[in-house]
Structure 1
Amino acid sequence: MCCRCCGVTQQKVWVFGIGTLMGVSGLLSVIWGPSFMDTLIMKQLPLTPTSKTFEKWEELPIPIYLHMYLWNWTNAQEVQANGVKPIFEQLGPYVYREERKKMDLEWHDNGTVTFNPRRIWYWEEEMSGGKQTDIITGPHLPSIAAAHSMKDSNIFLKVMFNQALNANGGALYTTHTASEWLFEGFYDEFLHYAMNLNNPLAPEILDDHFAWFLHRNESKDFEGPFTVHTGVGDIKEMGEIKYWKGMNHTGWYEGECGRLNGSTTDLFVPDEPKEKALTIYIPDTCRIINLEYSGVSYEIEGIQGWKYEVTPNTFDNGQLNGNMKCYCPADRYPDDCPASGATSLAPCGDGAPMYLSADHFMYADESYANTITGFDPEYEKNNFYIIMERKMGVPLKVVANVMITLYMEQDSVIDILKGIPSFYAPLFTTSSQAQIDKALASELKLVLSLPSIARYMGVGLLCVGCILIAIGSLLTWKRKWYGQAEADRLALRDNEVIESETEVVPRNE
């Protein structure tokens, strides 16, 4: 606006008009700006091939580290010979950097997408607390699992099985390097025998090598496929698992305990109440895991998040919470259910007496930990938790600790089990850990700030509009507009001329 080019009236129109426009715009921004920005953000969140969400979902932009702890059975010979109490020592962590990518994406018209998750692990020597060449003794799972399957067989079958076990590499324990236990694998004579055994009652053996993560590295077919909701059409379903391997129920546990729901941990429903529990499904755990709201908040990279963690109810089997009874295998219910604190993996592990629990049996019944020497749970170290920013549904930090154990008990017919005590042998602890980095945190903070930015911009516009109106009012009252003096002088002169002309008008004679 050029004051020299405008008259006083035009100046007033400009100042009062702009002031009123800015004031009204600012007021509307203060009232509706934040909700408008929230709506706009939520419209951008659903997963589509061209969305920002897709870029970060297809291939996670932050590093994930797999911390593996292996348990070394230090007195295995004495246990087998004399039945003494087993002693285990936790070794590690053996740390691997994990890269995740969704493969073979197939988009569906009902707002879902199907994919195969691929994971690649890279050894991180400097972050590890042990070497891949560490020698570790652990239970011989193939032998123990096979022996357990014969537990209730008649004496004749058990004697025949015992002979075959002794003649074909059966053992109570075995010793290998950390890398062999984890990914590399080792040849196992008993597995080779079982793989070539034509027994329709025995589970199918596909390989005569053994490792906890055998053939997992770089595989895109081991875990999936998953079908999840994209949030298109219903943002409150975003990330929810609809199918896994074409099913919406695992079939391993009855009722709700086998139903698939929750998240794969890569995508969560945004803008949920902070008190609502997080539900996740990890194929290796064979079940959903509910993480409860702790009421504790943390600030990570300048972003506030809330902590969700396992509780004594998480791995309950019905003793603490009646709704969890379905995690007791149907063939053991109700009199032979495991004590609270561990879930039997037998339904999804071909009957092997393996158990899933919090690390070091934290929150579990003391009967588990008392069977060996070596368990010493610490809340901060062994906890399973997620720190979640709930508005956008973004995990700020993940520490997922779970432990796998093998139940071993004596058998008077099977030689490798004669005279041993009953105990829960820890096999390994896995801990997936990740934390948001500065780059991603900066993007998230900007998005979270947009509603506040809209409000502050509204306040600014409202203030500027009020100031302009106030200045215009003051200038009008003080008659200080640019050119006002000249306008007043001209007006005064015009008034004087009119008055003088009125005075000299001749009288009618």
Structure 2
Amino acid sequence: MCCRCCGVTQQKVWVFGLGSLFTVFGLLAVIWWPTLIDSIIMKALPLTPTSRTYEKWADLPIPVYMNMYLWNWTNAEEVKLHGVKPNFQQLGPYVYREERVKMDVEWHENNTVTFKPNRTWFWEEELSGGKQTDLVTVPHLPSIAAAAMMRDSPSLIKFFFNKALNENGGLLYATHTASEWLFDGFYDEFLHYAMTLNNPLAPPIETDQFAWFLNRNGSKDFEGAFTVHTGVGDIKEMGEIKFWNGENHTGWYEGECGRLNGSTTDLFVPDEPKEKALTIFIADTCRIINLEFTGQSHEIEGIQGWKYEVTPNTFDNGQRQADMKCYCPVDKQPDNCPASGATSLGPCSDGAPMYLSASHFMYADESYANTITGLDPNYERDNFFIIMERKLGVPLQVNAAIMVSLYMEADADIDIIKDIPTFYAPLFTTGSSAIINKELASELKLVLSLPAIGRYTGIGFLCLGCILLAVGIFLTLKRKWYGQAAADRAALISADTNNSTDPETVPK
């Protein structure tokens, strides 16, 4: 109908004009759209008080679960009396849903932000593999830590220490419920005694209650204040830790091993090469942890991510990699460093002989696992890994599993450990697990699809433009435009009429 309203020239203008327009638009979309969209996305990602990133950073929108395993010392009395090989049984998981909120957020003019992480845990009995009332026997950390501090003291001082230990609640092990060990706490006689001493040579004792996470549930002050880069002005610094409690070095380990860098796991640098390792700092671990690229890709909720995990090098102390030597405590260098596979937590635990490693001493030197029985590492359960979508820097799945153990060693001058063998006693394994939900995944997929949507739209317009131009050329060459025949006949008649009236063509 439209063609009947237009002459041949108008038809050509429309077809060739639209064809050229669609072709040019299609070419521009194919060539420039992905770059333009990527630029817009990268400008929208930095953390600001009004950004979408802030909404999800300030109050994590996906469910996080803390899976706690406690290690039950099944033959503690036999070890004490007869020196048999210790056996430990892993109990759990005791699962708690974790809510993460950033508190006391303060923005700075140098494009950084300071905050305090506040974590609150809620018991999830249906997801747990044990009950909070489970009785668990565990080495008595206060007594063992105090004994370790006195190991090199003169015999007379150790004599009086041993007497005080025996008379004031010193124990090789203690038995309490799972909830008491984890959050609830219990009264400890030896801690109460230590509080009354006010010994300037010993670390201050602030309470006679004991639990692994005592007074931590719902506390905004326990983990301290982090200052991270917002990404404003330099997207390649987004999420990078600048200070922790106002310092850029932990002071626990020398040199680079104590320097703060990497992410708090809440914010990562976007658009990094997939081969680049992930560096994270978790206050509980006292150190940064590097997760290495595995080369494995995983699809979660329709989004492709790459897997990064701990390796045998992660908890090295210089045996495998020379630059890891700084994780060996100064008082143990150069020849008494822990074997590869576990980091001494002594520098950040007031000298207590505690060690950080992968669960079940996975990846660690066999000297750790060989001292006890009951270990049964499971790669799928115990592996510390992050599956990361690298374009936007969004973790798709996290399983942050670590184990804390206690070094136990005999001392002939201290009764509670007089005849025990030397061994590493696992105390607890903690793992934070999370996986992206469908709602957040849908938003992420849309953002990731925008460059492709623009590219394919451009290809569509380019094809449509090329088709219109081809049709126009075909119709022009074949003279098949609507009304073309009538126009041609009119042109011939007009030409004949002009010839018949031309004076030069009339016979004289």
Instruction: State TM-score, norm by structure 2.
Output: 0.97
Q: 2-side partners of 1:107 and 1:487: how far apart?
A: 74
Amino acid at match of 1:127: L
C-alpha separation between the residues in 2 aligned to 1:353 and 1:45? 43
Instruction: Report the counterpart of residue 431 of structure 2 in structure 1.
Output: 431
Q: What corresponds to 2:300 in structure 1?
A: 300
1:460 corresponds to 2:466: no
Does residue 1:321 correspond to 2:355, yes or no?
no
Amino acid of the residue matched to residue 236 of structure 2? K
Q: What's the counterpart of residue 340 of structure 1? A: 340
Report the Cα distance in structure 2 between the residues aligned to 1:179 and 1:5, rounded to whole angstroms. Answer: 85
**Paired residue for 2:470?**
470
Give per-residue Cα distances to partners, 1:314-341, cap 9 Å, x unaligned.
Answer: 0010111111100000011012111111
What is the aligned partner in structure 2 of residue 500 from structure 1? 500
Alignment of 1:404-423 (within 5 A): 404-423=404-423
Aligned to 1:199: 199
Partner of 2:276: 276
Looking at structure 1, the residues matched to 359 and 2 of structure 2 have their Cα atoms a distance apart, in angstroms, of: 74
Find the aligned partners of 2:71 and 2:469 in 1 and give their Cα distance. 76
1:355 aligns with 2:355: yes
Q: Structure 2 matches for 1:165-180, cutoff 5 A?
A: 165-180=165-180
Amino acid at match of 1:101: V
Please say if 1:68 is aligned against 2:68.
yes
Provide the C-alpha distance between the structure 1 equivalents of 2:352 and 2:38, rounded to a whole number of angstroms. Answer: 50
Q: Which amino acid aligns with 2:367?
A: S
What secondary structure sits across from 2:501 in the alignment? helix
Name the residue aligned to 2:381: 381
For residues 191-225 of structure 1, the C-alpha deviation after alignment (integer angstroms, 9 at most, x for no partner) is 11112222111101111111111111111111020
How far apart are the structure 2 equivalents of 1:302 and 1:125? 31
Q: Deviations over 1:333-371 (max 9, x none)?
A: 012111111000000000000000001001111111111
Q: Secondary structure at the match of 2:101?
A: strand
Compared CA separation, residues 505 and 198, structure 1 to 2 (3 A): closer
Amino acid at match of 1:138: V
Contact 2:340 2:365 survives alignment (8 Å): yes
**Structure 2: which amino acid aligns with 1:141?**
L
Structure 2 counterpart of 1:263: 263
**Are the counterparts in 1 of residues 499 and 505 from structure 2 also a CA contact under 8 Å?**
no
SS in 2 for 1:331: helix
Between the aligned partners of 1:45 and 1:296, the Cα distance in structure 2 is: 26
Give the TM-score, by structure 1 length.
0.97
Q: Return the alpha-carbon distance in structure 1 between the equivalents of residues 335 and 447 of structure 2.
A: 54
Letter in 1 for 2:496: E
Matched residue of 1:196: which SS? Answer: helix
SS at match of 2:331: coil
Larger mean CA deviation between 497-506 and 411-420 belongs to: 497-506
Q: CA deviation at 1:504?
A: 9.5
Long gaps (5+) in structure 2: none
1:311: Cα distance to partner?
0.8
3-state SS in 2 of match to 1:26: helix
Q: Does 1:128 align with 2:141?
A: no
The whole-number CA distance in structure 2 between the counterparts of 1:68 and 1:183 is 11
CA–CA distance in 2 between the matches of 1:319 and 1:230?
37
Shift in alpha-carbon separation, 1:411–1:505, aligned structure 2, 3 A: closer
Distance 1:237 1:74 in 2: 49
SS in 2 for 1:101: strand
Distance in 2 separating the partners of 1:238 and 1:479:
62
Q: Does 2:242 align with 1:242?
A: yes
Tell me which moved more, 376-385 or 475-484. Answer: 475-484
Q: Residue 127 of structure 2: SS of its match in structure 1? A: coil
Higher deviation after alignment, 483-492 or 117-126: 483-492
1:394-413 correspondence to structure 2 within 5 Å: 394-413=394-413
2: CA distance, partners of 1:364 / 1:505: 110
- Structure 1 vs Structure 2: percent identity of aligned residues? 74
Q: Distance in 2 between matches of 1:197 and 1:497?
A: 128
Amino acid at match of 2:18: I
How many equivalent pairs are there? 508
Counterpart Cα distance in 2 of 1:153 and 1:505: 135
Q: Offset of 1:490 from its aligned partner?
A: 3.0
Q: What residue is the counterpart of 2:451 in the other structure?
A: 451
Once the two structures are overlaid, the 10-residue window that deviates more, 492-501 or 171-180, is 492-501
5+ unaligned residues in a row in structure 1: which ranges? none
Opposite residue 368 of structure 2, the aligned amino acid is Y
1:4 and 1:205 map into 2 onto residues whose CA distance is 96
> 1:12 corresponds to which residue?
12
Q: How far apart, in 2, do the equivalents of 1:196 and 1:106 lie?
A: 39
Match of 2:108 in 1: 108
- 1:38 corresponds to: 38
SS across alignment from 1:425: strand
> Could you tell me how far 1:503 is from its partner in structure 2?
6.4
State whether residues 500 and 506 of structure 2, in contact with CA within 8 Å, keep that contact through their aligned partners in structure 1.
no
Q: Which amino acid aligns with 2:155?
A: I
- Greater CA drift, 282-291 or 473-482: 473-482
Partner Cα separation in structure 1 for residue 107 and residue 3 of structure 2: 61
Using the alignment, how far apart are the partners of 2:506 and 2:471 within structure 1? 48
User: How does 1:211-222 map onto structure 2 within 5 Å?
Assistant: 211-222=211-222
**1:85 equivalent in structure 2:** 85
Query: What code does the residue aligned with 2:90 have?
Result: Q
Q: State the alpha-carbon separation in 2 of the partners of residues 246 and 117 from structure 1.
A: 15
**Secondary structure, aligned partner of 2:433:** strand
The 2-side partners of 1:76 and 1:243 are apart by 43
